[in-house]
Amino acid sequence: MMTAAFDPVRACWICDGTTLLPVHELIFELSAYGVQDAELASYTGSRLALCRCVRCGFAQPAALPALPRYFDRMYDQRWSDDWIRSEFEADYKDEIFAEILGSLARRLGPARRRLLDVGAHAGRSVSLARAAGWTAEGLELNPKTAAYAAQRTGATIRQLNVHDTRVGDGVYDAITLTDVLEHIPDPVRVLTRAASLLAPAGWVSVKVPCGPSQLLKETWRGRLLSRYRPTVADNLVHVSHFSPASLRRALERAGFVDVAVGPGAPELPATPGLRGTLSRASRRAIHYAARVLPGGLHTPLTLNLQAYGRRPAAERER
Ligand SMILES: [Zn+2]
């Protein structure tokens, strides 16, 4: 029997605070990897606390698996061709992408349209960006989705990590990280790298789930539904849990200025029939309320966060 080892995480990844209080227990269930990766599967049954930093509101696990390349190995999924195509063709995130592209275009002005989508997935956002006049490229780690996105969009989609030196410094006007940062430990490191990839006065967009609201929603679902176990971080699929304040702090720490954090647009699943119509209407209504109510950003109505930050035009602006 292999033992699943962990390395403790003692300080907040965002603010270095060391008062970290447990707010949730997450479990590991990786038995599906039993044949493909027995070492990874041996984490099945382990439990960890998700801890919130009292200083900035960020939540992160009390420890990380000691297994080398744990996250790469967990994301080494052999998705089917049909599923990847359905992810490209599905429109449930289109309002999110449209809001991001529109906000970036307004901030940059008409002449600057070089965009890098980090975590391009099946390529839908790159495709929408190109249709809106951007020169868009993507980074995507999964080889199958990267190949599909390149073939389907005609864009350059590279199967590289954002830290790879082959990704050019200072050449992009905009970088998008949509539903990416919650999957990565030590997110300030990724944001710092994003800042260096941007041209001076370029803008980054970050969209993540709002950690405290998602946990509250899951906790209530667990109370209202019998046999439902609240889950926000199982297998560490979500490893970085941002509050509005900690997302702002992370961007500022990475060197961004003019940071703006607000409620993020919802996903609108294409569920058929009346149920789908009601679900989409309620998601839109909650998002609208979060945007217009005073202080709505800091209420459970904000289920997602959308942030923007600008790389300073010159060093002295910092
Ligand atoms: Zn903190």
DSSP secondary structure string for all residues of 263-299: EPPPP-----HHHHHHHHHHHHHHHHHHHHSTTGGGS
The alpha carbon of 295 and the centre of ligand 1 are apart by a number of angstroms equal to: 21
Contact 131, 155 (CB under 8 A): no
Tokens representing 281 are 């209407």
Pairing of strands 157-158, 135-139: parallel
The alpha carbon of 59 and the centre of ligand 1 are apart by a number of angstroms equal to: 8
Predicted local confidence at residue 228, as pLDDT = 87
Predicted local confidence at residue 315, as pLDDT = 67
Give residues whose Cβ lies within 5 Å of ion ligand 1: 12, 14-15, 17, 53, 55-56, 58
> Closest by alpha carbon to 232, among 183, 275, 293?
183
Full-model pTM: 0.94
Q: What pLDDT tens digit does each residue of the chain (318 aa) get? A: 457 899 999 999 999 999 999 999 999 999 999 998 999 999 999 999 999 999 999 999 999 999 999 998 988 777 899 999 999 999 999 999 999 999 999 999 999 999 999 999 999 999 999 999 999 999 999 999 999 999 999 999 999 999 999 998 999 999 999 999 999 999 999 999 999 999 999 999 999 999 999 999 999 888 888 888 888 999 999 999 999 999 999 999 999 999 999 999 999 999 999 999 999 999 999 999 999 999 999 999 999 999 999 999 986 665
The alpha carbon of 56 and the centre of ligand 1 are apart by a number of angstroms equal to: 4
**What is the separation, in whole angstroms, between the first and last Cα of the chain?**
53
Predicted local confidence at residue 9, as pLDDT = 97
The alpha carbon of 206 and the centre of ligand 1 are apart by a number of angstroms equal to: 18
Contact 117, 125 (CB under 8 A): yes
Predicted local confidence at residue 240, as pLDDT = 97
Predicted local confidence at residue 225, as pLDDT = 87
The alpha carbon of 246 and the centre of ligand 1 are apart by a number of angstroms equal to: 7
Amino acid in the structure at residue 21 = L
CA distance 89 to 74: 25
CA distance 48 to 282: 33
The alpha carbon of 47 and the centre of ligand 1 are apart by a number of angstroms equal to: 22
